[in-house]
Structure 1
């Protein structure tokens, strides 16, 4: 059996449609269908059922897809051992992380690893939680930094989780705002303020909207940014206020933060696929992430 075709089958099990697999693999849908048909010939087993234009896995296809995950992980491990004869962690590890964790968690970990393991290559990918969990499951990432607080992204039981830190949600204000420097903030007092939001349907956009509505108002959103740094610049200029994880509040911006009167926090977690024991290269990346300094784990006050 060809490992590449097995990976396509695994992606079909995870993503659900040939079109989605084609987009992930950067192939045409017809090419994906042809390769899956070849895999059926190789295994001499019907792996797919076709109903109209849709394709779904047979019972045999489901079994093979789920066994294939362990097979592919084991092949990666063997390849790495052959390259380095097990002398030290080596090879490629793809690390996915959401935006605010990249410069505070991922980059420091990768920097330490580069000094210690010269034959280890860590490819850093910016992936928000709704992107990183599927990427991990289909094998496009080996380790991800995500949050366990995204309700529509169940993280188990096919994944192993390593808690890294807690990260509180804070209200970010211009430095000369009349309420700067006070104690915990009641969001209802900010109902008439202009708000900066993340992009629609992102984790922080959904969370901020929910918190504002719990405070019984609909926020007046004057701008949306996919980059937290642009949002912080907007707040710094006195044009808006926003809700952010404390991890995202870069101290280089002249803003102030207030904790919320009703505290809200998220749990930052590393995740890997469950199955065969993780190869040495993956283990050292996890160890580096667990070495998170307390100043990162606690979040920056931003004041």
Structure 2
């Protein structure tokens, strides 16, 4: 009889690539992971891992086991969801991955609402980059993710994840408020092209927002002077408000800083898409459904185009897109 715990280690190795990463993800020691995989080879009587240089490759027989392991984990998750649905109380733990803006702008009212309505429900939240969060949700580290993507720069797709649009968040050019001392160069900006000689702040190399902002500037005919980089959008706000930089910022970041910033519309009225994703096998989980439903029901989820997402309280699987 094959042991699911060992099968899962093989699956994790297929996802992550190295024994060390599997050990780190599952809080094992590397030697323990190696021992368990060796025992799995003994149980199956076939070679599962083949060393190529310094890396381990899964054999075709191992890939067969990985595919069956995915099915087993999905089946177990559906069984747990069906069992939980028979209970009168929504309880358990939901592991949630979010990016920074969502943690600051969206989650506080959601967490408050969930605490009041479902006192037996525990939500554990971790700030993650969207691409990493989607991968980890697919891999079962998280149960639900709030992620973002920019036009022309799609977030990764995973076949076992159900994605639903949460909102479309307008992006604008952010500048310091008018009239502040030393801000004459910023006050003259009326469109994106006027900002070509000003210092810019952006997220670090590799971030979707940085790639998108660079392309927008290049399409406008200039290369931005990227002097500052940080993943912290609140730092972006402070650098702009203090007259040290300009930035392209989404509405969810801008809305609480109207007194210290002014904005200029960008060509084409661009928006980023914010969405939630969870595994298909957990769609019937009352706990995960409760968190997702609360997110989609927030008033802030109506975007500037009045595209609202309405979720029926009785059955969150029914989602209606309504243009008001």
TM value normalised by structure 1: 0.85
Contiguous gaps of at least 5 residues in structure 1: none
Residues in 2 aligned to 1:246 and 1:42: alpha-carbon distance in whole angstroms: 56
Q: Match for residue 172 of structure 2? A: 170
Residues in 1 aligned to 2:84 and 2:267: alpha-carbon distance in whole angstroms: 54
Report the CA distance between 1:272 and its aligned residue: 0.9
Q: Match for residue 128 of structure 2? A: 127
Q: Match for residue 15 of structure 1? A: 16
1:97 aligns with 2:136: no
Q: 1:240-284, CA deviations, whole angstroms, 9 ceiling, x for partnerless residues?
A: 111112222251461122220232212111001223643211111
Return the match for 1:242 from 202, 222, 247. 247
Over 3 Å counting, the alpha-carbon distance change for 1:241 and 1:148 in structure 2 is closer
Report the CA distance between 1:204 and its aligned residue: 1.8
Over 3 Å counting, the alpha-carbon distance change for 1:87 and 1:43 in structure 2 is farther
Over 3 Å counting, the alpha-carbon distance change for 1:88 and 1:60 in structure 2 is farther
1:255 aligns with 2:256: no
Residues in 1 aligned to 2:284 and 2:71: alpha-carbon distance in whole angstroms: 11
Report the CA distance between 1:28 and its aligned residue: 4.5
**Contact 1:70–1:275 (8 Å) recurs in 2:** no
Q: Match for residue 54 of structure 1? A: 55
Larger Rg, first or second structure (1 or 2): 2
Matches within 5 A, 1:1-303: 1-76=2-77, 78=79, 86-149=87-150, 151=153, 153-176=155-178, 186-252=191-257, 254-275=260-281, 277-293=283-299, 295-298=300-303
Report the CA distance between 1:107 and its aligned residue: 2.7
The CA RMSD measured in Å over matched residues stands at: 2.9
TM value normalised by structure 2: 0.80
Report the CA distance between 1:72 and its aligned residue: 3.0
Report the CA distance between 1:126 and its aligned residue: 0.4
Over 3 Å counting, the alpha-carbon distance change for 1:91 and 1:81 in structure 2 is farther
Over 3 Å counting, the alpha-carbon distance change for 1:108 and 1:58 in structure 2 is farther
**Contact 1:70–1:276 (8 Å) recurs in 2:** no
> Mean alpha-carbon deviation: is it higher for 110-119 or for 10-19?
10-19
Residues in 1 aligned to 2:156 and 2:84: alpha-carbon distance in whole angstroms: 35
Alignment: residue pair count: 297
